[in-house]
Structure 1
């Protein structure tokens, strides 16, 4: 995450400078237009994900076991919210690192996810004791 804070602005600036060097002001206009389009695409995706979460209860997921199977370290919070189609129930104070969110399903199983800098650091599945499978015949 810290490298992205510097690489994206520096890369954008280098793109604009290269466009000016090779194509003068027409190149700058195209480069700036491309950067604005890129920002609008990310903003549009974020708004679409958040729009899908509006009618779902906070912290609910259809199956905590399936969510646990799909999670991978390094995923962004936006990606996890898009997978669950629901905002996670916050378990920590606001603006405190690491952030911990929980998603629970109908069987009271839940997945607790820890995000550091907006990226998934670890996750844990909890299943109640009553979820034991019946013995095989």
Structure 2
């Protein structure tokens, strides 16, 4: 994540310089407009994801097993919120790294995700203990 903080501004600066050298101030204005549009698209996507998550309970997911199957290391927290359509229930102390969020479904299965620097590092599926099914007796078999 640290390299993105350096590479993205450097690439934007290189494109701005190339636009200025090729077309002067008009090229620089075009590049600046493109960069602003790119930022607005990301901002709009983030707002739409958070708007959908605001209408759901914190830490709830439709199916923890299906969420567990869709996870991959390195996914950003915003992508997780988009997958679950819910904010995760914070289980670690606030503002500490790594962050731990839990999503639980109606059957009490849950996925605990560990994020370091906003990227998914590890996850664990926890399912509730199931009781052994009671032995079914057939009334016809018991009759003499």
**TM-score, structure 1 as length reference:** 0.93
Partner residue of 1:79? 79
Partner residue of 2:139? none
Name the stretch that deviates more: 45-54 or 12-21. 12-21
Q: Give per-residue Cα distances to partners, 1:9-44, cap 9 Å, x unaligned.
A: 111111111111111100000000000000000000
| Aligned mates of 2:41, 2:133 — CA distance in 1 | 45
Name the stretch that deviates more: 37-46 or 15-24. 15-24
Q: Which aligned pairs between 1:23-38 and structure 2 lie closer than 5 A?
A: 23-38=23-38
* Alignment length (residue pairs): 134
Partner residue of 1:14? 14
| Aligned mates of 2:131, 2:90 — CA distance in 1 | 25
Work out whether 1:54 is the aligned partner of 2:57.
no
Partner residue of 1:130? 130
| Aligned mates of 1:24, 1:46 — CA distance in 2 | 34
Q: Which runs of 5+ in 2 are unaligned?
A: 135-144
Which contiguous aligned blocks of 4+ residues in structure 1 show a shift greater than 4 angstroms? 131-134
Partner residue of 1:66? 66
| Aligned mates of 1:114, 1:83 — CA distance in 2 | 16
The offset of 1:122, in angstroms, is 0.6
The offset of 1:54, in angstroms, is 1.2
The offset of 1:131, in angstroms, is 7.2
The structure having more radius of gyration, on CA atoms, is 2
The offset of 1:133, in angstroms, is 8.8
**TM-score, structure 2 as length reference:** 0.89
